[in-house]
Amino acid sequence: MDNRSYERASAEARKQEQQESARRLREFPTFEKFSDDDLKKLVEAAHRTSTSGPWPLIRQHTPSDACYILLSGEAGVYVGHERIALVGPGEIIGESALRRGKLRNATVTTTGRAEVLHIERDDLERLLTEIRALRETLDETVARHVPASATAEPS
């Protein structure tokens, strides 16, 4: 296979993977407000990754640099050594990526086999300006994950 054939085959495989990722996102209630074009933009900006066993996606007390969307599998959310939540497919994980300079307040580790979409902070910020439904969904996710007292401004 010459370089051009390889590049075409690689581009076609990536396109098919993106279409599959968008189709899977469409199955989750989290993404019901998203248009097909919104989902296409989202998966084009993401990197799809698979794990074959437990794998830390996010580590507590590290800089917030990306977020993840769980396509399959489950992930445990830990503060210290205590598991405080278990999240499943369709969940957005690491929404704190938008808080530059802040450290993660939890560790999130897949519990076994999983597929995730990984979105770097700069891509996420760009997508938030392009996809209104993503901004709304992230705001809802933050509201569920962060206690009101933690987001309140000091008097």
Per-residue pLDDT tens over the stretch 45-103: 999 999 999 999 999 999 888 999 999 999 999 999 999 999 999 999 987 767 667 88
Per-residue pLDDT tens over the stretch 23-46: 999 999 999 999 999 999 999 999
Residues contacting 110, CB < 8 A, separation 6+: 51, 53, 54, 55, 57, 73, 74, 75, 116
Answer with the residue of higher pLDDT: 48 or 148: 48
Under DSSP, the state recorded for 52 is S
Confidence (pTM): 0.85
